[in-house]
């Protein structure tokens, strides 16, 4: 089996938002990288974005200008030809659009053209790793490698097992992730949302339910979070990401986790009206000069950060019980670095009484009737604090 020191060349398929970022962090770490896309202008655009990002480091004195030139001129190559891109590559990372048919056809081609022992990884954020990998010859060397956006700044990488991935391939990609200055967390099962997005999912359903209920205004929750020092509060984040994307995510969970995730009418009406958030200037909030207009004087103690934390730790318990993560510590690492949070849910909830969390969850469950908010046994009896120990 290949060792991490044997990896010299990495092929990145797709040079969009994620692909160029992945190419950048690999090249900065010293690997030879080939980016492949379907149009020359997309490749040029990807290289230009890498240039801007590295120039920023040079301007800040964090990188030598000579090193930047070396990365751009020598380590990063581009190609429109898959055979050329994957030839001699020990690792191939795919970051093409999130469409199952496209990903399968891309991997069918890669699998024909790459070395038979090359590790093949998909950066999918929502699709089944096993299904994508079903087209690959020797699927034991196929796995998920889920980076977070923006790749150059987000530390976390989820290294995800498909149903046939070998431990050796997963171990090697964890080592490689460290070499490119990332923090790998193993995801032991191929389940919707993997770890980080899954733990966030019930709170997304809750936000949709709050909007539909209409009793508590978005500012009332967001003002509390902003005053506690959150860079982005929950409704503000939804607007920032785009309400179309937010709805799409909820639809995905409705199809894969539970129908109760279906986006509510507040959100679907907004999307129908084209009020998508920051990108259209209006969503849940009005956006002026790139900022949401949030009335900070409106904070209330109706649904609070404590409620959101209770929902998060409750889902984290489920994730652990389903065997997705090695330990609760790994779950905390994933959430902390994947969501840029102050700490993970188990750490944040460690000082809290089980009754407090149970009460918060029961309050939400009674009010919104969402099954995914029901407190788990381990929350009720406090044993979530020692799960897996
Ligand atoms: N954007 C995010 O926040 C984010 C975060 C994590 C994971 N992801 C996942 O990463 C993947 C890529 O997302 P993105 O945001 O970079 O998309 P993007 O649309 O910005 O980039 C995709 C690129 O792939 C290219 N492409 C299309 N077909 C191709 C082919 N056959 N060969 C080579 N290149 C091809 C496109 O031209 C485009 O440049 C998706 O699976 C997405 O779900 C995205």
pLDDT digits (tens, 9 = 90+) for 160-171: 999 999 999 999
Give the model's confidence band at 330: pLDDT under 50 very low, under 70 low, under 90 confident, else very high: very high
The pLDDT score that the predictor gives to residue 352 is 96
DSSP letters for 87-108: TT-SEEEE---S-HHHHHHHHH
Supply the mean pLDDT for the chain.
Answer: 96
DSSP for 233-297 reads: -HHHHHHHH-HHHHHHHHHHHHHHT-GGGS--HHHHHHHHHT--BGGGTBSSSBEETTEE---GG
Give residue 100's pLDDT band: very low, low, confident or very high (50, 70, 90).
very high
Mean pLDDT value of segment 28-33:
98
Average pLDDT over residues 296-300: 86
Q: Kindly indicate the confidence band of residue 299, based on its pLDDT and cuts at 50, 70 and 90.
A: confident
What does the alpha-carbon distance between residue 308 and residue 312 come to, in Å, rounded to a whole number?
A: 6
Which sequence spans correspond to the domains of the chain? 4-187, 195-389
Ligand 1 atom closest to the Cα of residue 45 is 39
Measured in Å, residue 201 CA sits from the centre of ligand 1 at: 22
Residue 381, SS3 per DSSP: coil
Residue 1 in contact with ligand 1 by CB distance below 6 A: no
Q: pLDDT per residue over 45-59, tens digit each?
A: 999 999 999 999 999
In tens, the pLDDT along 244-282 reads 999 999 999 999 999 999 999 999 999 999 999 999 999
Is pTM beyond 0.85? Reply is yes
Q: How many Cβ atoms sit within 10 Å of the Cβ of residue 84?
A: 15
Instruction: Assess if CATH 3.40.50.720 describes domain 4-187.
Output: yes
| Closest C-alpha among 135, 129, 184, 119 to residue 161 | 129
Question: pLDDT > 90: what percent of the chain?
Answer: 95
Taking residues 113-139, report their average pLDDT.
96
Q: What's the first-to-final CA gap in the chain, in angstroms?
A: 33
Residue 10 has pLDDT above 90, yes or no: yes
pLDDT above 90 (res 228) = no
Ligand 1 contact, 36 CB (< 6 A): yes
pLDDT band at 231 (very low <50, low <70, confident <90, very high): confident
Closest CA to 232 of 301, 285, 275, 183: 285
The whole-angstrom separation of Cα 184 and Cα 297 is 40
Active site residue 146: yes
Distance 347 CA to ligand 1 centre (A): 34
- The CATH number given to 195-389 is 1.10.1040.50
Residue to substitute in 22, 35, 37, 198 for testing ligand 1 pocket (most ligand atoms within 8 angstroms of CB): 37
Please count the other Cβ atoms lying within 10 Å of the Cβ belonging to residue 280: 16
Task: Please give the structure tokens belonging to residue 155.
Answer: 């530390």
Ligand 1 neighbourhood includes 95 CB (under 6 angstroms): yes
pLDDT at 359: 98
- Using the predicted structure, report yes or no on whether residue 300 has a pLDDT greater than 90: no
Average pLDDT over residues 204-224: 96
| The residue count for the chain | 389
Q: Is the pLDDT score of 1 beyond 90?
A: no
How do residues 53-81 score in pLDDT, each as one tens digit? 999 999 999 999 999 999 999 999 999 99
Q: What is the pLDDT of residue 263?
A: 98
| Pocket-testing residue among 11, 34, 96, 129, ligand 1, by greatest number of atoms within 8 A of Cβ | 96
């Amino acid at each position: 089996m290949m060792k991490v020191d044997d990896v010299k060349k990495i092929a990145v398929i797709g040079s969009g938002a994620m692909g160029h970022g992945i190419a950048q962090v690999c090249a900065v770490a010293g690997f030879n990288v080939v980016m492949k896309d379907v149009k020359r202008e997309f490749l040029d655009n990807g290289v230009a974005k890498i240039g801007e990002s590295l120039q920023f480091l040079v301007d800040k004195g964090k990188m030598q200008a000579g090193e930047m030139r070396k990365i751009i001129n020598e380590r990063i190559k581009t190609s429109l030809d898959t055979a050329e891109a994957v030839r001699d590559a020990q690792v191939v990372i795919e970051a093409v659009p999130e469409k199952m048919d496209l990903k399968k056809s891309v991997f069918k081609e890669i699998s024909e053209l790459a070395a038979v022992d090359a590790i093949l990884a998909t950066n999918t954020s929502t699709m089944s790793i096993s299904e994508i990998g079903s087209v690959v010859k020797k699927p034991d060397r196929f796995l998920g490698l889920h980076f977070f956006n923006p790749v150059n700044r987000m530390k976390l990488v989820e290294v995800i097992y498909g149903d046939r991935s070998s431990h050796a391939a997963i171990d090697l990609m964890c080592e490689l992730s460290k070499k490119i200055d990332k923090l790998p967390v193993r995801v032991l099962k191929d389940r919707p949302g993997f770890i980080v997005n899954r733990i966030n999912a019930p709170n997304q359903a809750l936000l949709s339910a709050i909007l539909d209920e209409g009793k508590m205004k978005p500012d009332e929750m967001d003002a509390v979070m902003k005053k506690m020092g959150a860079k982005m509060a929950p409704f503000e984040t939804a607007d920032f990401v785009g309400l179309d994307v937010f709805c799409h995510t909820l639809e995905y969970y409705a199809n894969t986790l539970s129908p109760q995730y279906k986006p509510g009418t507040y959100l679907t009406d907004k999307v129908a009206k084209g009020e998508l958030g920051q990108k259209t200037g209006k969503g849940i909030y009005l956006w002026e000069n790139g900022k949401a207009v949030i009335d900070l004087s409106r904070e209330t103690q109706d649904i609070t950060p404590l409620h959101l934390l209770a929902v998060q730790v409750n889902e984290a318990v489920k994730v652990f019980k389903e065997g997705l993560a090695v330990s609760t510590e790994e779950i905390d690492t994933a959430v902390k670095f994947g969501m840029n949070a102050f700490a993970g849910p188990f750490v944040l909830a460690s000082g809290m009484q089980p009754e407090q969390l149970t009460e918060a969850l029961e309050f939400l469950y009674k009010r919104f009737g969402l099954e995914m908010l029901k407190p788990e046994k381990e929350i009720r009896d406090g044993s979530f604090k020692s799960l897996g120990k």
